[in-house]
Amino acid sequence: MKLLPHPTSYLFFTGKGGVGKTSLSTATAIQLADEGLRVLLVSTDAASNLDEMLGVPLRNTPTPVPGVPRLSVLNIDPDVAAENYRQRVLAQMQDSSTDEERKTVREQLSGACTTEIASFDEFSSLLSDSAAAYDHVVFDTAPTGHTLRLLSLPKAWSGFLKDNDRGASCLGPHSGLKMQEARFNAALAALSDEKQTTVVLVARADKGALSEAARTSVELQELGLRHQRLVLNGVFRATAPGDAVADALEALNNEALHSMPDVLKTLPQAVVPLRAFDTVGIAALRSLLDDKGAPAWLPAEDVDDSRWAAEGLQKLIAELAAAGKGLIMVMGKGGVGKTTIAAALAVGLVRRGHAVHLSTTDPAAHLASTLEGQLPGLDMSRIDPKVETQRYIDKIMASRGADLDEQERALLLEDLQSPCTEEVAVFHAFSRTVASARSAFVVLDTAPTGHSLLLMDATGAYHRQMTREFEGKSTAHVITPLMRLQDPDYTRIILVTLPETTPVSQAAALQDDLRRARIEPYAWVVNKSILAARTQDPVLKARLQGERRQLARIADGLATKAFFIPWVARPPVGVAGLEQLLKS
């Protein structure tokens, strides 16, 4: 099976979290390398699990993949990229600079916007400098919202730096940006060239995933990335006549494909069937695109699964409701059902008599479509990056610009047009949302893991800044967002996962990151378990072997508390659907 009959030099796999971008991009890279081509596989996801899939430690430099000659893998690590960027900026400073001046510059370059531009700088270098070393560069991108941000940056920074000879204040000295301007322009040219770049929109046969792919297609076309292809991954066809679970799953697939948005119908398409195995290891990844080899992965056995007859969301909601107020943050890998679980928790708390504010930090949020209507006692909002950025700019212009002359106001506004202003604005909105949980329940549906970690990094950076400013002074009245997140009586973190290798591993990695920040998750929610469905379909039965292994990982060491949500035939959309999920 060839997803790309005529692959270009740069291949971007993007889509909603959980649709299989990493598996398909990696399988495609292996396939190209097996054909004798030199291939570099790049992850732009801060929460990538390519190391687990390939058995190779991820680095910021190309690393050969054992068992696949001519294939190397690289992960754009935000922390490493940011430190490299800081070192380049410091190297531009004059020899006469004092230690205090260099310390000030390093502090200027410690925030989230520096991390973003540094990661983007690494990304740009791959687009401008890799042609001589590789026949193809395959990008396994972060979930949609983050990827749209990344792919918009070449245009944003090229436009910002044009006729701007000062650089952006939030990124430090002028040379930190201007010395990369030619690279940004080269990246923009490569992305816009249909002969060089193809965007592979990956989706499941699911209405939500297809709708997001359609929105992404339109937005990328507006950015100039018009050479696109659609891959429908994990399409299920029942093979056991009369199996209710298999028939329901196939009907859902067919319904979603039949109502596919028109913008996707015009794109070239490829279909990858649902496979019986987890795509971990070179052999499994090669079999993913091999219809003849895939059936060899079909062992199935009958096992007693009574161990997983655990309590569901109602028990979790009862525990959360006992506090009477507080922040409930729902986190996890994209595509695991964070939005559904967040909405269900909010509905459950409202039904217990509590007022609840439900919000999201996800650029690709779909809270409104999940709830499909209003519920007394529940109000919703969204931290919209564009709205928050304009609000932040207006606030700064009003507070700082009042005493400036016309030219100075123009210069201030120009600095605020920097793409990194969005990161600052979103952090301020997030901080307001966190603080509002002092007197009521706030349920926060977060962006997929990588994006959320950058937001948490901004929270930590702000905390460190406040600590420095109040060094030697009384801090009794200072409460930062990070301090609220670290308070188990104020904040409860719910990690959502699917019973599959990649989501569980990423939830475990997220838990480790949170613990390093002294934030302890309250509980795990395992979503869409099909163990209790008693299916006889051979593909689904084979997939249960992997599910059992993941449930054991969670229950026997990863989670202090775990709640299991069964797979349901109809997606839980609307208040009635969410309430039905609460009863399951």
8-state DSSP, 17: T
Max CA separation in the chain (angstroms): 80
Q: Could you state, in order of their start, the residue ranges of all structural domains in the chain?
A: 10-297, 306-384+435-583
Q: What is the pLDDT of residue 17?
A: 73
* pLDDT above 80: residue 519: yes
Of the residues 20, 167, 176, 348, which is catalytic? 20
Beta pairing partners, 328: 443, 492
Q: Do domains 10-297 and 306-384+435-583 have the same CATH topology?
A: yes
Q: Give residue 200's pLDDT band: very low, low, confident or very high (50, 70, 90).
A: very high
* pLDDT above 80: residue 324: yes
Q: What is the pLDDT of residue 441?
A: 95
More confident position, 458 or 342:
342
Q: For domain 306-384+435-583, which CATH number applies: 3.40.50.720, 3.40.50.300, 3.40.50.1110, 3.30.200.20?
A: 3.40.50.300
- Give yes or no: 401 in active site: no
- Note the pLDDT tens digit of each residue in 118-169: 777 777 778 777 777 899 999 887 655 555 566 666 565 555 555 555 444 4
Q: What is the pLDDT of residue 175?
A: 44
- Give yes or no: 584 in active site: no
Of the residues 72, 114, 339, 502, which is catalytic? 502
* pLDDT above 60: residue 299: no
- Give yes or no: 335 in active site: no
Do the strands 63-64 and 71-75 form a parallel or antiparallel pair, or are they unpaired? antiparallel
pTM for the structure as a whole: 0.66
- Note the pLDDT tens digit of each residue in 95-123: 777 777 777 767 666 666 666 667 777 77
Cα 316 to Cα 563: distance, rounded to the nearest angstrom: 7
Q: Interior CA angle at 286 toward 195 and 284, to 5°?
A: 135
Tally the residues of the chain.
584
List the structure tokens of 94.
């004059």
- Note the pLDDT tens digit of each residue in 236-246: 888 877 888 88
Q: What is the pLDDT of residue 172?
A: 46
- Give yes or no: 491 in active site: no
Over residues 431-458, the mean pLDDT reads 77
Q: What is the pLDDT of residue 443?
A: 92
* pLDDT above 60: residue 194: yes
* pLDDT above 50: residue 380: yes
Q: What is the pLDDT of residue 146?
A: 55
Over residues 450-479, the mean pLDDT reads 64
- Give yes or no: 446 in active site: no
Whether CATH 3.30.470.20 fits 10-297: no
- Give yes or no: 450 in active site: no
Over residues 2-25, the mean pLDDT reads 88
* pLDDT above 60: residue 329: yes
Q: Are 184 and 161 in contact (CB under 8 A)?
A: yes
To the nearest whole number, what is the mean pLDDT of the chain?
A: 80
Kindly state the percentage of the chain with pLDDT values over 90. Answer: 24
DSSP 3-state of 197: strand
Of the residues 44, 45, 77, 421, which is catalytic? 45
Over residues 429-435, the mean pLDDT reads 85
- Give yes or no: 20 in active site: yes
- Angle, helices 501-516/449-469, rounded to nearest 10 degrees: 0
In this structure, of 87-91, 253-257, 296-300, 397-401, the range with the lowest mean pLDDT score is 296-300
Of the residues 8, 14, 15, 18, which is catalytic? 18
In this structure, of 8-12, 359-363, 374-378, the range with the lowest mean pLDDT score is 359-363
